[in-house]
Amino acid sequence: MLWSLDNITLPGRRSPRLNQVTVRIPWGITAVLGQSGVGKTSLLNLLVGFERPTTGTLKFHGETKPGELPVFWVPPQHGLWMHLTVREHLTTVVPPDLFTRSRLIPHQAENGGQAPGSPPARRGPRFSAADNGPVSRVDFADRLLERFDLLPLADARPGSLSQGERSRLSVARGLASHAGVIVMDEPLSHVDSARCGLYWSAVREHCTANGTSLVIATHAPDVVLREATHVICLDNGRVIYSGDVLSLYHRPLSQELAELLGPCNWLTSDETCRWFGCDPLAHQLPETAVAPAAECIRPEQIAVEPAAESPLSIEESRFAGASSEVRLRDDRTGASRQFSFRSVGTARFQRGDRVVLKLLQIVLLAICLSGCFGQSSPPLVVKHESNWSMPPDGKRIPAPRGMTVSPDNEYLVLDNVGRVLVFDENGDVTRQWWMPEYSVGRAEGICVLKDGRIAVADTHYHRIVFFDHEGNVTGMFGQRGSEEGDFVYPVAIVQDPDENLYICEYGQNDRVQKFRPDGTWLMQFGGPGTERGQFQRPSGIVWYDHNLYVVDAFNNRIQVFTDDGRLVAILGESDKIAEVYYPYDIAVDHNGDLLVVEYGAGRVSKFSRTGRLLGRYGEPGSGQQAAQFSTPWGLAIDRRGRIYVCDTGNRRIVELEL
């Protein structure tokens, strides 16, 4: 961890600005979230040493090296030096020996063991995977200034800059410091929204390439969701949540917490049944029953569709781009309620229109099903569970993402630092190699082809890369685009008995493309959307008996196509108990049954090929107990019928024997 705070109190004029705060801040990117005046800046002031607590203890656990700042502060009012030029702001803070020290790149790093949670390996400045040559102090500054659109102002002084330019300069200066940790209070808050994403990309790439950790205070939910992995929520000087960002987004414990990450619909199980189709008179709970707690339903989990015979009518409607709001009236009860929902197409609703609400996520349907019907899932019986450890990369313990098993029972794993790892049946690494490039993102899909080559969906480089048995690159195809044979984030790959390749991609395309093994394009199907046959992140694919089973992650379903692209079924469509929550990968066992790993639900589910649920194993959690998974990402089945789960959040591979 970076900091530990125990029972910290910081006084204020009327009430403590921080009140008995106990929290741990890990390595990586942590967001401090909350409304104005709740204590965010006070917490950051403590971290950087501007203030001291009146009670409690604060410890910094990061590294301190000669000539290098352990922490750099990007204050809310920028803190610029009025006598220095824009370029001098950067060259002044660069460590004196940064360009003379040995600069490790990942595949040269020592492979020494280190416990999870240790600091990432620190490196010198890099601008791309290929750029490892000498760089001068001015060159380094100018490249950073260019990333923040400040190079034309390099000789200007802060007095002539706009608020947005000052904001960008303060962040660029922080990156130039090459500190192990950068603490930012409302960074890029005055920046043009059209360019803000590009500047955050520059921050992200710098931190990834140099092993830098961030602590950022912000009001912006989109920044937290896009950039952070850990979040600390404050209210009236107290910590009300500290943990994983996705857990807070999907499973908040209160409406107050839910709304910190954007619009939500907070409903009890009874309200869910009333507004989404359960008949409250036919399915009332017994008086002694305990209804499930209220749940957060995000706008993207709701669709509003016209329905002439519906008892629900529009009282008010507001279109707001990606999401919209409606106030509905239920003619049966006279009740009225506002909902935020996902905008689809160009549809506009008018007062008096008849509509129905539809839930698009299993976790929400489960509220109604458990509260109104009391249904439960059959267990998947596991005889034995064991774990494989991931080999360290320097001081880091990477996490597995994608996995496959070769015909000769080698277990090939992609991790989140850019390596291809080959394990034997005992869980020992026999060899490994690096992807050709990995500075802007890591590969996620892997497949062993019938000719012995290893094909990897190099997700963030928009291509397929082929390796031989020893990890030498033998070829590649693809480029970023939306035309035939182009890719935007290819994420999964499978081969049929005729050696054709099927490649899933998400992003702007959300489709499956079919190729010959030499990369010759044959056809495509799908497209972005929520309709039948469309996808929102098709994350995994498997071929069986001339059918393709595709996990449609954000639409929470498994769609079945013929291998010429014709939709034939959506599994679990008529059986609510068999629905899935963020399915990320799929495999077929020796009996022809389907195994699906669910990222959102933290479990493995087994289905017949007709969609009948055969059993489930696991539950979400950040612990490493049996039957506990944290954001499982990929899975594979070996010739013995054993299941292997990439338990990404827990940084391990879990082996299950059924």
CA distance 541 to 493: 7
Q: What pLDDT sits at residue 369? A: 39
What number of CA atoms fall less than 13 Å from residue 394's CA on the CB side? 16
CA distance 42 to 39: 5
| The most confident of 71-80, 98-107, 350-359, 363-372, by mean pLDDT | 71-80
**What is the arithmetic mean of pLDDT over 438-447?**
89
A 10 A CB-CB count for 191 gives 22
A 10 A CB-CB count for 82 gives 7
CA distance 491 to 340: 30
Minimal CA–CA distance to 358: which of 275, 269, 266? 275
A 10 A CB-CB count for 77 gives 10
A 10 A CB-CB count for 117 gives 15
**What is the arithmetic mean of pLDDT over 637-641?**
92
Phi, then psi, of 413 in degrees rounded to 5: -125, 135
Q: What pLDDT sits at residue 129? A: 36
Phi, then psi, of 605 in degrees rounded to 5: -120, 145
Domain at 384-657, CATH homologous superfamily:
TolB, C-terminal domain (2.120.10.30)
CA distance 239 to 488: 39
Contact by Cβ (8 Å): 443, 402 = yes
Residue carrying structure tokens 């197409």:
345
Cα dihedral sign, 334-337-342-344: positive
Angle at 248 between CA 247 and CA 254, to 5 degrees: 125
| The most confident of 43-47, 577-581, 599-603, by mean pLDDT | 43-47
Contact by Cβ (8 Å): 603, 363 = no
Helix axis angle, 86-93 relative to 137-147, nearest 10°? 120
Q: What pLDDT sits at residue 284? A: 35
CATH of the domain spanning 265-373? 2.40.50.140
pLDDT top residue among 139 and 543 = 543
CA distance 217 to 45: 11
Tokens of 94: 């660069």
What are residue 405's DSSP bridge partners? 411
The tens digit of pLDDT for each residue in 599-621 reads: 888 899 999 998 989 999 987 65
What whole-number percentage of the chain has pLDDT above 90?
48
**Among the listed ranges 94-103, 291-300, 394-403, 480-489, which one has the minimum average pLDDT value?**
94-103
Contact by Cβ (8 Å): 420, 412 = yes
DSSP string, 174-195: HHHTT-SEEEEESTTTTS-HHH
**What is the arithmetic mean of pLDDT over 292-302?**
76
Residue type at position 226: R
Edge-first strand order for the sheet with 312-320 is: 302-306, 354-359, 312-320, 323-330, 336-342
Q: What pLDDT sits at residue 307? A: 86
DSSP 371: I
Element (H, E) at 605: strand 603-607
pLDDT at 89 over 90: yes
Q: What pLDDT sits at residue 2? A: 83
Confidence of residue 122 (pLDDT cuts 50, 70, 90): low
| All residues at 6 or more sequence positions from 420 whose CB lies less than 8 Å from its CB, including other chains | 412, 413, 414, 432, 433, 434, 435, 446, 454, 456, 467, 471
Tokens of 373: 């019907």
Phi, then psi, of 107 in degrees rounded to 5: -75, -5
The tens digit of pLDDT for each residue in 504-544 reads: 999 879 999 999 999 999 999 999 988 899 998 999 999 99
Cα dihedral sign, 153-158-159-164: positive
Helix axis angle, 86-93 relative to 163-176, nearest 10°? 20
**What is the arithmetic mean of pLDDT over 547-553?**
95
Residue type at position 56: G
pLDDT at 199 over 70: yes
Confidence of residue 134 (pLDDT cuts 50, 70, 90): very low
pLDDT top residue among 559 and 438 = 559
CATH of the domain spanning 3-78+179-260? 3.40.50.300
Q: What pLDDT sits at residue 315? A: 93
- SS3 (DSSP) at 285: coil
Question: Which stretches of 61-156 are assigned E, i.e. beta strand?
Answer: 71-74
Helix axis angle, 137-147 relative to 163-176, nearest 10°? 140
Provide the residue ranges of all domains of the chain, joining segments of one domain with +. 3-78+179-260, 265-373, 384-657
Element (H, E) at 323: strand 323-330
Q: What pLDDT sits at residue 112? A: 37
The tens digit of pLDDT for each residue in 225-243 reads: 888 989 999 998 999 888 8
Tokens of 283: 């399915």
A 10 A CB-CB count for 296 gives 24
What number of CA atoms fall less than 13 Å from residue 283's CA on the CB side? 19
Q: What pLDDT sits at residue 119? A: 55
Rg for the chain (alpha carbons), in Å?
26
